[in-house]
Each structure stands twice: as structure tokens, then as C-alpha cells.
Amino acid sequence: MVSDTDAISPTDEGQSLHKVGTIAEQTLNQLEDKFEELRLQTQQLLSDRIDLENRVAKQKSKIGRLSEEVRLMRMPPHVIGNIQDILDKERAVVRSSNGTVFLVTYNQGIDADLLKPGARVALNQDTLSIIDVLNDAWDPLVMGAEMIEKPEISFSDLGGLEDQISLIKESIELPLTNPKAFIKFGIDPPGGVILVGPPGCGKTMLAKAVANSTECTFIRLVASELAQKYIGEGGRMVRELFDLARERSPSIIFIDEIDAIGAKRLDSATSGDREVQRTLMQLLAELDGFDSLADVKLIAATNRPDILDEALLRPGRFDRVIDIPLPKDEARLAILNIHMKDMPITKGVRVDNIVSSTNGFSGAELKALVVEAGMCAIRQNKNKATKGDFASALETILKKRAENKGEAPNSLWS
């Protein structure tokens, strides 16, 4: 039997239910807070993971790059050479860069079309077998011979060379600008033109003026640069010179001091002489295979026409010789006028007197005279050059001539 005191009143039951409900609610809130906290933590961890993964990927690619660099550094250098002949499916004859010729094998993976005589190749240092075919490149010396800046010299900058200008115009400029005229008359223009005369009389200037007036690429080389140390190098450079000229056509090749490779062939004793002769032979071969109506023109210059090999002067080669002598009175007057045109001078300066006292002077010496007179005036803080300045300039140049035994002080002034 249940006593009155043991019985739970409805009010108590309601209270305890309410209590349980409150506790449950609090626990739920706490759980929700905890869940939110954990969710945020998970997000943070996820973004940390992505960040770390990125860093790992970056480090991995850095390792890849560095190990590739290490691999390249460990690789032995390759020898560079040129193919001379392909003998069969396995063997080729190559000339290495030091001039020695070898019979070698080649990598069977190389495209057979690329393996041609003349191609530049990389050779294994130990076995000298062909590893790779390289792109053709111009010799730096040949490349440097191309004058990127157009020469700014025009025919009007040349004094006293009217006859020579018209000769060079008809041999070089006309075939470039009007080749049809030559075809019509069934004649070939000269293969090349050679300018002969003492130093400093305007040979280089004349060649530059032609290049300027015809808007041609101007390729200038001193022939001594073609005389090379290694066998076959000079000939290769001549070949490359003409290839470059053809690629950049219309172009004018100007070979200064041609006597360095074009001197008479003797029964030469040294291998150096023979190499120079081979270079000359290559030049002759290029001249023979030269289409004189094509867009490449050749001008050579020398102070020593007397020692030139006759083979160079044969028809079809340098068959037009243009003489550029020391300037006579009229020519000296013209040259002086050109170099003095921007110089303020006093009335006392008589150009005709300077002309008569500079007999035997070259164009370069006349320019040197004008420059020296100007320097004299500047030194004394004058506004104009006077007769006295020219007199002392003349004295200086005459002294220099005596010291140089008549040689023009080109290097000083040109």
C-alpha cells in the first residue's frame, strides 16, 4: 500500500521533467559549440594540408631542376665538328673543330636527312661518334663583318673622285638597279671590282658610299682576318662570307687589304702559307660560281696591286681595276672644301695656298690637317681658325710624315 507521503505529486514530476529538459538543452548547446569548434579546426587543418602539399610540390620541382642541372654539369663537354662524308648506314667522316679528320660512327636515332656533308655536329669526347646535329651558325667573325648601321657616307662626301665614282657606279650600282640593261646587250657586268691606290685616298669611303646609295647590306672584312690558324678554317670563312651575303642580299662584300690572302702564289714552304693559298683558292672558287647579275657585289681594295696573284684579276673575277691615286691639285681642293665646310675660318685662310703646299698628301692627311688646325684654334680659345692655325697644323703633319717616312697617319684620324 502506498502512503500519502510516498506518493509523487504532479507538481514535483513537472519540476523534475523541466530540470531534465534544461540539462539536455545545455548539453546540446555544449555539443553544438564543440561541433562548431571542431568544424573550424578541420577547416584550418585542411587549408594547412593544402598549403603543405603546395610547398612539397614546389620543393619537388626545385629538386627536379637542380638534379637536371647536376646531370648537365656532370656531362662531359662535346667536341664540335663538321660532317665531311656519310660512308654508310653506320659510319661517317667528320672534321673536328681543331681540323683533324676522323672516321666515326653515328647515333642511329638521328634523322638521316639531317646527316649531310657540311652539317655542324656534336661529337662524343671519347669515341668522337656523332651524338647530335646542331643548327648552322655563322662564324662570329663573319657575323661581325656585317655592318648593322648603314654607312652614312654619300658620294658627295668624296672629293676629287668623280671618274672613279662613275666607274664604280656602272660596275656595281647599275647591275643591281638595272640588270635588264646588261641582259639586253648580252654582256656580263664585272664579277668584282678592285680599288687600288695608296693608303688614305678614299677606297673604303668609296665602297661605303656605294653601299649607301644602293641601300645594300654592307659586309666589310679585312682579308688578314681570313688567314686563319687552323687548316680549312679560312676557306670555310670565305664560304660563310658569301653565304651570309646571299642571305642578306642585296649586299656588297668589301674585302680590304686583299693582298693579305691574294698575294702571288709561290712554292710555299710553310703550312701557314699553304693555308693562305687554300683560302685564296676558295675565294677564286666563290668568284667563279658567282652570278655577276645577282644581288651580291664584291669590292676589294689593296695598296699593293703589284703583288696580287694574276688569277684574281682574270676576266669574271676582279676584272675591273679602279685606280685611286694621291689627289692632284683640284682633288685636294675638293677634299679640303669637304672637310672645312663646317669650320669657321677667318678671311686670311687661303685654301688655294693650302692646296699648293700639300702636294703628295693623301685624303686622310688632308683631313688630319683640317682637324689639327681646328684643334689649334680650340686650344687658344678662338672663335675661328686662322691662317696661323693652318700653318702650324701643316708643320705638325709634315713632322708626322717625316716620322712615319711618308706613311699617312690614317689610324690617327680616319
CB of 339 to ligand ATP, least distance (A): 7
Q: Which amino acid is at 287?
A: L
CB of 392 to ligand ATP, least distance (A): 21
Return d(Cα 69, Cα 90) in angstroms, integer.
Answer: 32
Buried b (16+ CB within 10 A) or exposed e, 114-145: ebeeebebbbbeeebbbbebeeeebbeebeeb
Whether residue 344 contacts residue 384, with contact meaning beta carbons closer than 8 Å, is answered with yes
Is residue 324 classed as helix, strand or coil in its secondary structure?
A: coil
Decide whether 260 or 335 has the Cβ nearer to ligand ATP: 335
Decide whether 190 or 202 has the Cβ nearer to ligand ATP: 202
CB of 387 to ligand ATP, least distance (A): 22
CB of 147 to ligand ATP, least distance (A): 14
Q: In sequence order, what DSSP letters do the residues of 45-89 get, joined into one string? A: HHHHHHHHHHHHHHHHHHHHHHHHHHHHHHSPPPEEEEEEEE-SS
Is residue 94 classed as helix, strand or coil in its secondary structure?
A: strand
Find where cell 688614305 sits: 200
Buried b (16+ CB within 10 A) or exposed e, 292-315: beebbbbbbbbbebeebbebbbee
User: What's the DSSP call for residue 382?
Assistant: -
User: Helices 363-379 and 329-340, interaxial angle, to 10°?
Assistant: 40
> Nearest CA to 158 among 396, 357, 332, 383?
332
Decide whether 337 or 380 has the Cβ nearer to ligand ATP: 337
Decide whether 78 or 400 has the Cβ nearer to ligand ATP: 400
What does the block give as the cell for 149? 648601321
Decide whether 6 or 149 has the Cβ nearer to ligand ATP: 149
CB of 253 to ligand ATP, least distance (A): 15
Decide whether 121 or 355 has the Cβ nearer to ligand ATP: 355
Whether residue 195 contacts residue 300, with contact meaning beta carbons closer than 8 Å, is answered with yes
Decide whether 139 or 157 has the Cβ nearer to ligand ATP: 157
CB of 239 to ligand ATP, least distance (A): 25
Q: In sequence order, what DSSP letters do the residues of 254-306 get, joined into one string? A: EEESTHHHHBPP----SHHHHHHHHHHHHHHHHHHT--TTSSEEEEEEES-GG
Residues that bind ligand ATP (CB under 6 A): 158-161, 199-205, 256, 301, 303, 335, 338, 363-364, 367, 410, 414
Decide whether 159 or 305 has the Cβ nearer to ligand ATP: 159
Decide whether 256 or 372 has the Cβ nearer to ligand ATP: 256
The contacts of residue 60 (CB under 8 Å, 6+ apart) are none
Q: What angle is formed at CA 59 by the lines to CA 54 and CA 63, rounded to 5 degrees?
A: 150
CB of 153 to ligand ATP, least distance (A): 8
Decide whether 158 or 287 has the Cβ nearer to ligand ATP: 158
The contacts of residue 33 (CB under 8 Å, 6+ apart) are none
CB of 199 to ligand ATP, least distance (A): 3
- Residue closest to ligand ATP when measured from CB atoms: 363
Return d(Cα 247, Cα 238) in angstroms, integer.
Answer: 14
Task: Give the H or E element holding residue 236.
Answer: helix 233-247
Q: Which amino acid is at 199?
A: P
Decide whether 153 or 216 has the Cβ nearer to ligand ATP: 153
CB of 289 to ligand ATP, least distance (A): 28
